[in-house]
Chains A and B, each alone.
Chain A
Amino acid sequence: MQRTLLVALNELRLMLSDRSIWVNIVIVPLIAAFAAGWANSTLSDADDTSAAPLIDVVDLAANADSQSFQREILAVQPRLQLCPPLQPEDDPEDRCGLQAASLDYDLALQRLRDEQIAAILTIEGDFSEKLQAGEPITLTLQASDANLEVDSIARGLQSAAARFGTLRLALKWNERLSTNFQLDAQTKQQLEQQVVARNQALWQDPPVQIAKSSSEQRLNAGALPGFSQSIPGMGSMYVLFCVLPLSQSFIRDRKQWTLQRLSSMPLRTSQIMGGKLLAYAAIGLLQLLIVFGFGMLLGLRFGSDLLALLLVVFSFVAAITALALFISTLVNTEQQASSMNLLLTLLLAPLGGAWWPLDIVPAWMRTVGHISPIAWAMDAYKAMIFRNAGLAAVWLPICVLSAMAIVFFSIAVLRLRRSQSA
């Protein structure tokens, strides 16, 4: 064991003496993880941060009811910019750009065709009458087919219409009550104000609420959501980048005859191989430590079961190290090894969900993706990050990764023995 450690230590010294390794295991992975995480976070927040869509409102009713309805729309969908604005302060930057022009349907249609606006909302002239009569009201929302936000806008308008309808219904009942109980005008007005105020209060703080929440937000409140994907994903991919070159190292050592020198010493082949494997596994662990540590600085948390995290990390690095040993039995030149390593990394990383979550790919691709050790590691990391999963929940990825390590290692040893006896 002592000699195995000596070989491992020497190999580590050799790797770390090349200053470029720090670029490869620190700078590049951290930049990649940060950039990918930030980009993913920005995309997921796009609904909140992009410019508010402009909607031309062709208000043919042009009365208090139609204006009240527009206020309700803005209350429900504050992101929307209605044109023309109800008040000048509703559009301080004059995004509507109508200046003095009065908006009619033709102008609005032209603006839609010119892609100046996202949609046209037409409020018919009989809006108030139908509202008073309790008849169904149909509003027309017209948008270009290319506009991806039209469904979201329509849902917002629907929601506003529901709120507005509820208020009108309450006021109508108030009217009937006032008539039936012969209330005086002042009492009736007070009652109306109370109904409106109560209605608004209810919408502000409805009795039944659906809170938008997720375990990710609870566990990783401080981190941008994209880092939950990019930190484990990029970390895992860069483990491949720094461990797979083990196969090149065997060829290089054979070419430089340092491997033969070690073989001529009182050492077992298993001690030499073990030392080299240990060194590359250590570099793989260091790589994960660096990227995960960076993730933790950004607020990411890998659950609360440290043992589970360590077992996932060790079994993943073991699987990749054994894979590297297996590759070394397939290749004869450094060039072949380098090409094979690049190909495998660029295949296993996206397939295993290092670049994007496997949740967004079709089911068959998710299944195929699990030939990659990265997919199993990502399953475990995500369970820990999003659900605070412990060992009981991640035993399957750990077992699969350990099995992969054993299979690759066994095949590699068999192939090495066969090549030595040839």
Chain B
Amino acid sequence: MQSYLLEAHGLRKVYKRAKAQPLVAVDHIDLQVRPGEIFSLLGPNGAGKTTTISMLCGLLKPSEGDAIIDGYSITRQPIAAKQRLGIVPQEIALYDRFSPLRNLRFFGKLYGLRGAELDKRIDEILELVDLSDRRNDPVSSFSGGMKRRVNIAAGLLHRPALLFMDEPTVGIDPQNRRRVLDLIKYLRDQFGITIFYTSHLMEEVQELSDRIAIVDHGRLIALGTLRELVQQIGEEDRITLQLAQPELPPQLRSQLLASFASPIRLDIHSDAEQMHTIIQMFAKQGRKLLPQLLQIINDADLEVQSIDLREPDLEAVFLSLTGRQLRD
């Protein structure tokens, strides 16, 4: 019995460059997506998310590896595989001179839908994205959020088993963003559509995903549920203190390192130009250590500019795995 809707094996994409070393955009990615789940690919810009999704959708030919969608190879049986997938690209992939109705009718016909069935699907999908009353207006007259919703409708029209959504909330206002996120959850909960979601926004991924894969520099560096990923880094709290001090006195530095020894991790970074020092502490139940840390700073008579306490999240996971922040 088939347990995965999507299986990718050793996906690799290398771009040849004229006067430089070949660029490895995606490096041997293996992943599996279960039916009915929201699977997210998280990574900073340029990590290889769009290249991965482009190979999975058959837009790019992999240099190596393959992906099986609902039993069909995207490289060897592309037509059958593509019939089972839908795509909501980052860009508004619509003919903006046409109305939503004309766009959807054209896309629907290409998926083999005709007549009354096509009309019914269009009615349903426009109702779903709340654009029934604007069905005949040209897309060019729509706001960014409305265009996003038509973009989603175009990907859903043929009721795909697997829907790829590549950063579908880019460039829209918070209200429309909320609407899109709610719609994604609704699609999974009401229609059981499997969603492959990519984003560089940790909050979205945390909210939506059943499972998350983290990519960086084209490599898959972690995969699991949010809890599993957090457990990988030991569920540490992260405390960040900013002091108005261009350089931390050596005596104080020694005292801090002695007071918070392993397994607690302490990073101290002074910035003479910015005239501040940042102290980051990673520790299980780190919030309980905060008073002690503040006492030491206070005893040294230093001014605290800001304090940030974070429970374990994907940002912390990414930071822990790569040494960089997701937004870097």
Contacts and interface: CB of A to CB of B under 8 A. Distances in A.
A422 B95 contact: no
B91 A14 contact: no
B93 A256 contact: yes
Contacts of B107: 261, 265
Contacts of A260: 54, 59, 89, 93
Given A10-B106, A14-B97, A264 B58 contact: yes
B92 to A, nearest CB: 7
A265 B59 contact: no
Contacts of A268: 79
A7 B106 CA distance: 8
Interface string A248-269: 0000000011101111111110
Contacts of B19: none
B98 A14 contact: yes
A34 to B, nearest CB: 31
B195 interface: no
B110 A421 contact: no
A6 B61 CA distance: 25
A3 interface: yes
B280 to A, nearest CB: 40
B94 A258 contact: yes
Contacts, number: 64
Contacts of A6: 106, 109-110
A3 B54 CA distance: 22
B106 A17 contact: no
Given A14-B98, A421-B61, A261 B87 contact: yes
B57 interface: yes
A420 interface: yes
B106 to A, nearest CB: 5
Nearest to A267: B110
Nearest to A259: B93
Given A6-B106, A6-B109, A10-B106, A261 B83 contact: no
A262 B97 contact: no
Contacts of A359: none
Contact of B82 (A14, A265, A421, A422): A265
B16 A264 contact: no
A256 B91 contact: yes
Contacts of B59: 260, 263-264
B154 interface: yes
Contacts of B94: 256, 258
Interface in A211-267: 256-258, 260-267
A420 B61 contact: yes
A114 interface: no
Given A14-B98, A260-B59, A265 B110 contact: yes
A264 B82 contact: yes
Contact of A266 (B61, B82, B102): B82
A17 to B, nearest CB: 5
Nearest to B84: A266
A18 interface: yes
Nearest to A2: B109
B191 interface: no
Contacts of A266: 79-80, 82-83, 110-112
B85 interface: yes
B61 A263 contact: no
A101 B92 CA distance: 87
Contacts of A267: 79, 82, 110
A266 B111 CA distance: 7
B70 to A, nearest CB: 13
B142 interface: no
Interface string B99-116: 000100011011110000
A6 B109 CA distance: 8
Given A3-B110, A10-B106, A261 B82 contact: no
Interface string B188-212: 0000000000000000000000000
Interface in A1-23: 3, 6-7, 10, 13-14, 17-18
Contacts of A261: 87, 89, 93, 107, 154
Contacts of B110: 3, 6-7, 262, 265-267
Contacts of A262: 110
B186 interface: no
A422 B15 contact: yes
A257 B82 contact: no
B250 to A, nearest CB: 56
Interface in B109-159: 109-112, 154
Contacts of B154: 261
A410 B194 CA distance: 41
B109 to A, nearest CB: 5
A264 to B, nearest CB: 4
B93 A257 contact: yes
B16 A422 contact: yes
A263 B98 CA distance: 19
A267 B106 CA distance: 13
Contacts of B57: 264
B181 to A, nearest CB: 22
With a 10 A CB-CB cut-off, give which of A6, A17, A263 has the most chain B CB atoms.
A263
Contacts of B106: 6, 10
Nearest to A421: B61
Nearest to A10: B106
Contacts of B112: 266
B91 A257 contact: yes
Contact of A14 (B58, B92, B95): B95
A381 to B, nearest CB: 35
Nearest to A3: B110
Contacts of A18: 97
A101 B183 CA distance: 103
A264 B107 CA distance: 11
Nearest to A263: B59
B92 A257 contact: yes
B145 to A, nearest CB: 18
A263 B56 CA distance: 12
Interface of A: 3, 6-7, 10, 13-14, 17-18, 256-258, 260-268, 420-422
Interface of B: 15-16, 54, 57-59, 61, 79-80, 82-83, 85, 87, 89, 91-98, 102, 106-107, 109-112, 154
15 contacts: A3-B110, A6-B106, A7-B110, A14-B95, A17-B97, A18-B97, A256-B92, A256-B96, A258-B95, A260-B54, A260-B59, A263-B58, A264-B87, A266-B110, A422-B16
Given A3-B110, A256-B91, A264-B85, 5 more contacts: A13-B102, A258-B93, A258-B95, A264-B59, A266-B112
Smallest CB-CB A-B distances: 5 pairs: A257-B93, A257-B91, A261-B93, A266-B83, A264-B87
